[in-house]
A and B are shown apart, each in its own frame.
Chain A
Amino acid sequence: MELICPAGTPATLRAAVVAGADAVYCGFRNETNARNFPGLNFSTAELAEGVRFAHDHGKKVLVAINTFAQPGRVDLWHKAVDEAAQCGADAVIAADLAVLDHAANCHPGLRLHLSVQAAASTPEAVKFYVDAFRVRRVVLPRVLSVQEIAALNRMIDVETEAFVFGGLCVMVEGRCYLSSYATGKSPNLSGVCSPPEHVTYEDDAEGTAARLAGFTIDRYAQSQPTGYPTLCKGRFTAGGKTSYLFEDPVSLNAGGVLAGLKAAGVTALKIEGRQRGKAYVTEVVRAFRRAVDAVEAGGDAAEIDRILAGMSEGGRQTEGAYKKTWR
């Protein structure tokens, strides 16, 4: 199985390659990619240089152009595809039909991966993207169990890629507007979820309140670890109960199901976190390199939970939907 690792900056790309990535994914510094955070991402020149560095080390670069093109500005997304191709990218990761269609028509030699933002989880949906755009790999939504992935892989004739570590979307990706409801910006519209310019942390007598656009998303006692106020990871009150209604503030660690994913026919394993620093990426990639090598050699990956526990938000981890009890 290939290990696909995130890079928000050229320095992180190099760090990921050195730490053992088989491929690095990254995006341009604009709204064409779903990690459009301040100070992050690549200029065209930086991408070209990054591709050279990766290829010199025998590794690949995948370019995420995975937001939805805005009306009247589709050219910006087309241009991103053209530049990725010119830079020598090994594949483009896309979700929008406008982007997929342009890539398939204008760059027939360029490999296309279907972004998780397209949330293709049925054989019919996968078949649609393969037939219409010759998609070569589908990044699987994070709502499928290992058994469901195995069943899907038996019915489709295309590579699949599964997330194994990092932030966990609890909603169907690419179809969640919670962020724009509160802030006006969302993954699909602007490439950001719960954008930082709407985030405030305020200390009061009860501790620290994390707010997004004025909505209190969570509250922490002074001694407690905090989290980023991502809407779906907040505490809310419903039916008289206050709880982490949508998802606890945990991050995904599928280290324990790597062997299961391999048996399910998954081609590539993806680490989330283009917004994270190179210290984080280096540590996670190194650990997963060891785990994947162990799995490929027939061993098990039980150790990995302990190795990675310190790096996640709030320190807690889950195997998410890969175990069906998550629902």
Chain B
Amino acid sequence: MPRIALTLGPVFFHWPADRLADFYRRIADQAAVDRVHVGEVVCGKRMPFSDSIWPEVIERLERGGKEVVLSTLAAPATVRERRAVNDWCSEGRLVEINDVTAIPARSGQAFVIGPFVNVYNESTARFFAARGARTICPPVELSLDAIGSIARNCSDVDFEIFAFGRLPLALSGRCYHARLNNLHKDSCQFTCEQDPDGLAVDTIGGQEFLAVNGVQTLSNQVQAFCPTPEDLRAQGIRRLRLSPHTADMVAVAEAYRGLLDGAQSPASTRFALSCLDLPGGMVDGYLSGKPGFHSEGQST
């Protein structure tokens, strides 16, 4: 039986360089993940803060036996951002493409398609596979059946499911942290740094609903998809993605490794996750074709 791998996705939030470096040191040494994404995905303005730490982080992760993937910006716009995308694409390491801007620079070499690129069907998956896609993590709103249907028709690519973390739901040209603080995006003062898991957005009826992270909107609730390994194999899924939060990600990885090895049941895995300091309630509705905020797992 093929082993289902675990991937640690890129950090979506604006963590200070020290926090990032510490985080990846611990991941390198202790986390039961096979692959680790590094790099800024959400906001090009944050890049100068973390640029200098990546060489050491990458070296440390590789020394810890992790495969490193360089994640590129999801919505590059300025000349500097476009150049950053191109620079990472010309690196020897595996690159995650989060916008088609990167395709011309990377076509013909191996890449990962991230959840910000619209892969909704087998034709699109095969199109990217023919140009070098090795792994595809489809948009978060697709159901497990839909992803399985694509995966079974595109078997030379690893399909990865966004299994854990606040769901990336939207990107904007506008920065909501800046807007909330009456600042202009161009002089935003990086107030997003104050919310290392994103800032909760409630409805005026008082319901927990969304979270903002600069130009990104996420779910308030945390995706906690806990399938059996058999469910995943039946759909041709080879990887699960865990998205970093301030909660103990080593413990999250351990819980998922136990689940995928058959050592823990979905229910006990969910219980283990719920004991961690998560920023919101647990959901998994998207995977069963329901609204994303539904939680199928908890009712069974």
The short answer to whether A and B are in direct contact, CB under 8 Å, is: yes
- B173 contacts A172, CB within 8 Å? yes
- Contact assessment for B179 and A242 in the assembled complex, using a CB-CB cutoff below 8 Å: no
**Interface presence of B34 (CB below 8 A):** no
Contacts of B150 in A (CB 8 A): 71
Q: A175-B116, A180-B291, A181-B292 are in contact. Are A321 and B173 (CB under 8 A)?
A: yes
Q: Known contacts A172-B170, A209-B205: does B100 contact A69 (CB below 8 Å)?
A: no
Q: Are B203 and A216 in contact (CB under 8 A)?
A: yes
A69 and B219 CA atoms in complex are apart in Å by: 25
Q: Which of B184-238 contact A (CB under 8 A)?
A: 184-186, 199-207, 209-210, 212, 217, 219
The answer to whether A188 and B175 have CB atoms under 8 Å apart is no
Give the shortest distance, in Å, between A243 (CB) and chain B (any CB): 7
A280 within 8 A of B: no
Separation in Å of the A244 CB from the closest CB of chain B?
9
Contact pick for B203, options A96, A180, A215, A324, CB 8 Å = A215
In A156-183, the 8 Å CB interface with B consists of: 170-172, 174-178, 180-183
* B172 & A171 in contact (Cβ 8 Å cutoff): yes
Min distance, Cβ A97 to any Cβ of chain B, angstroms = 4
Q: How many residues from B make CB contacts under 8 Å with A? A: 68
Do the beta carbons of B149 and A327 come within 8 Å of each other? no
Cα A70 to Cα B289 with chains together (Å): 13
Cβ of B125 to closest chain A Cβ, rounded Å: 9
Binds B, one of A51-59, A231-239, A249-257, A259-267: A231-239
Pick from A74, A175, A238: contact of B212, CB under 8 Å = A238
Chain A contacts for B146, CB-based, 8 A: 70-71
Task: Tell me if B121 and A74 are in contact (CB < 8 A).
Answer: yes
Please tell me which one of the listed residues A128, A172, A213, A219 contacts residue B75 in the complex, with CB atoms under 8 A apart. Answer: A172
CA distance A218 to B204 in the complex (A): 7
| B120, A241: Cβ atoms closer than 8 Å | no
Sort chain A's interface into a size bin. Answer: 35 or more
- Once the chains are docked, how many angstroms separate the CA of A169 from the CA of B118? 18
- Say yes or no for A282: interface residue by CB 8 A criterion: no
Contact of A178 among B122, B185, B199, B217 (CB under 8 A): B217
In the complex with contacts A70-B120, A215-B207, A125-B99 CB distance below 8 A: yes
Bound CA–CA A131/B175 (angstroms): 32
Residues in B whose Cβ lies below 8 Å from that of A218: 204
Contact A124 B102 (CB under 8 A): yes
Residues of A within 8 A of B202 (CB): 236-238
Chain A contacts for B275, CB-based, 8 A: none
Total number of residue pairs linking A and B with CB closer than 8 Å: 209
Residue A95 at the B interface, CB < 8 A? yes
Q: What is the bound-complex CA distance between A183 and B290, given in angstroms?
A: 8
Measured between C-beta atoms, what is the minimum distance from A80 to chain B in Å? Answer: 14
| Complex contact B219–A181 (CB within 8 A) | yes
Q: Known interface pairs A175-B171, A236-B209. Does A122 touch B82 (Cβ–Cβ under 8 Å)?
A: yes
- CA–CA, A108 to B147, complex, Å? 31
Task: Give the chain B neighbours of A184 by CB distance below 8 A.
Answer: 285, 289-292
A237: B residues at CB distance < 8 A: 201-204, 206
Give the interface centre of B147, B185, B205 by most chain A CB atoms within 10 Å: B205
CB-CB under 8 A from A123, the residues of chain B are: 82
Chain A CB within 8 A of B165 CB: no
Contacts of B291 in A (CB 8 A): 180-184, 213
A245 at the interface (CB under 8 A from B): yes
> CA separation between A234 and B209, bound complex, in Å?
12
Interface residues of A (CB under 8 A from B): 68-74, 95-98, 101-102, 118-125, 127-129, 131, 141, 143-144, 148, 170-172, 174-178, 180-184, 186, 188-189, 209, 211, 213-219, 232, 234-239, 241-243, 245-247, 321, 324-327
Q: Return 7 A-B CB contacts under 8 Å, by A number.
A: A71-B120, A96-B118, A124-B86, A127-B104, A178-B217, A184-B292, A234-B204
